[in-house]
């Protein structure tokens, strides 16, 4: 019984850890922008906390992030286009890999931990 309890506790802790590994600050590599991914009421969001473009600071640019196990899916706001786009995100070695989908086209960008 003790082994079952330990295994269950380990599984729950690993699940909680994987849920939040993208939480933190990330450097977008454009316009000296830093995005903070944070949890609010059980949901993950991304907000620009610093940028050379003062008008975007404080704005939400990631929303509806849903954990799919090995990656997250949600929406990314592209300020240049003033539109929300589907995004798939996974983290490897302190780098976020974002695959942005626009119709049949996809673009991958990398955000190192900032």
pLDDT digits (tens, 9 = 90+) for 7-32: 334 344 334 444 568 999 999 999 99
pLDDT digits (tens, 9 = 90+) for 34-53: 999 999 988 999 999 999 99
pTM above 0.85, yes or no: no
Q: How far, in Å, CA of 66 to CA of 57, rounded? A: 24
pLDDT of residue 42: 87
Domain at 22-112, CATH from 3.40.720.10, 2.40.128.520, 3.40.50.2300, 3.40.190.80: 2.40.128.520
Q: What is the DSSP secondary-structure string of 11-60?
A: HHHHHHHHHTTT-EEEE-SSTT-EEEEEEETTEEEEEEEE-SSGGGTT-E
pLDDT digits (tens, 9 = 90+) for 57-71: 999 999 999 999 999
């Amino acid at each position: 019984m003790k082994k079952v309890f330990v295994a269950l506790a380990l599984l729950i802790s690993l699940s909680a850890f994987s849920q939040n590994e993208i939480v933190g600050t990330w450097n977008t590599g454009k316009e000296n922008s830093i995005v903070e991914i944070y949890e609010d009421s059980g949901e993950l969001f991304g907000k620009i906390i610093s940028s050379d473009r003062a008008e975007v600071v404080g704005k939400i640019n990631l929303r509806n992030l849903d954990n799919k196990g090995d990656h997250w899916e949600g929406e990314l706001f592209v300020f240049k286009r003033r539109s929300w786009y589907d995004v798939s995100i996974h983290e490897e070695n302190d780098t976020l890999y974002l695959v942005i989908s626009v119709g049949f086209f996809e673009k991958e960008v990398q955000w190192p931990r900032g």
